[in-house]
A = this chain, B = another copy of it.
Amino acid sequence: MTATPKPEAHMSKVIATLTTSVDGYYTGPDDGPGNGLGTGGERLHYWVMGGPWTYKTDRDPNDSMSDVDKEFYESLTEGMGAGICGRGMYDSAGAWGGTNPFDGTLWVVTHRPEDAPDPDTGFRFVNGLDNAMEEATAAADGKGIAIGGGGDVIRQALTAGYVDVLGISTAPVVLGRGKQLFDGFDQDLDLEIQDVFSSQYATHTIYKVKK
């Protein structure tokens, strides 16, 4: 009898990761181009920047991601071969200055793939999460795929059963308004805590999604 590899054996590990407030918001109100994470939303990313910052003021040039935050980020994103995000996040981030800063190509899920920038930028625009997953999986060639948000893309990926690992960074702020990661999500999922990293600016929990 010849062993037939299961299709799953060729599948890339898919991680989804996002930072939220204690009340589950991944942006403050009025997020978008020119206002990134929304009003007051900068506090979500103090851990990314290594200290307090705002869109309107200069950052302390000495601030950088702390060792434990870096350890979390690297342990989660190590070995990624491709990325996926939503058009809203891409626009809010100002296309990260015009060039994809992450490992591998970043697929941007959008209803207007015709808006795509030059492929040299490292971005690919694609209509729908399923298409993005298919193209990213082929490109990742066995390496992992990182889904970075926004909430709608992560909710779709959880609903479709794509997500193997969910990394939630919780920042010490209650935002009260903005966009919520689990807004309208009504499924029941069992998770398993794989690892926890704790810094001054965030509690990071890495969950395995049980299937």
Report whether A191 and B203 are in contact in the complex, using a CB–CB cutoff of 8 Å. no
Report whether A188 and B174 are in contact in the complex, using a CB–CB cutoff of 8 Å. yes
A206 CB to closest chain B CB (Å) equals 10
Whether a CB of chain B sits under 8 angstroms from the CB of A170 is yes
- CB neighbours of A40 from chain B (8 A): 188
Whether a CB of chain B sits under 8 angstroms from the CB of A198 is yes
Whether a CB of chain B sits under 8 angstroms from the CB of A43 is yes
Whether a CB of chain B sits under 8 angstroms from the CB of A173 is yes
Q: How long is the Cα–Cα vector from A190 to B188 in the complex, in angstroms?
A: 30
A78 CB to closest chain B CB (Å) equals 21
- CB neighbours of A185 from chain B (8 A): 23, 174, 176
Q: How long is the Cα–Cα vector from A191 to B172 in the complex, in angstroms?
A: 5
Residues of A within 8 Å of B, CB-based: how many?
35
Whether a CB of chain B sits under 8 angstroms from the CB of A104 is no
A163 CB to closest chain B CB (Å) equals 11
Q: Mark A163-174, 1 if CB is under 8 A from B, else 0.
A: 000101010111
Partner of A186, one of B158, B170, B176: B176
Kindly identify, within residues 85 to 113 of chain A, every residue whose CB is under 8 Å from any CB belonging to chain B.
none
Closest to A199 in B: B193
Partner of A172, one of B24, B172, B193, B201: B193
- Known A-B contacts A24-B182, A168-B22, A182-B24; the reply to A173 vs B193 at CB < 8 A is no
Q: Hey, which bits of chain A sit against chain B, CB under 8 A?
A: 22-24, 28, 40, 43, 158, 166, 168, 170, 172-177, 181-182, 185-193, 196, 198-201, 203, 205, 207
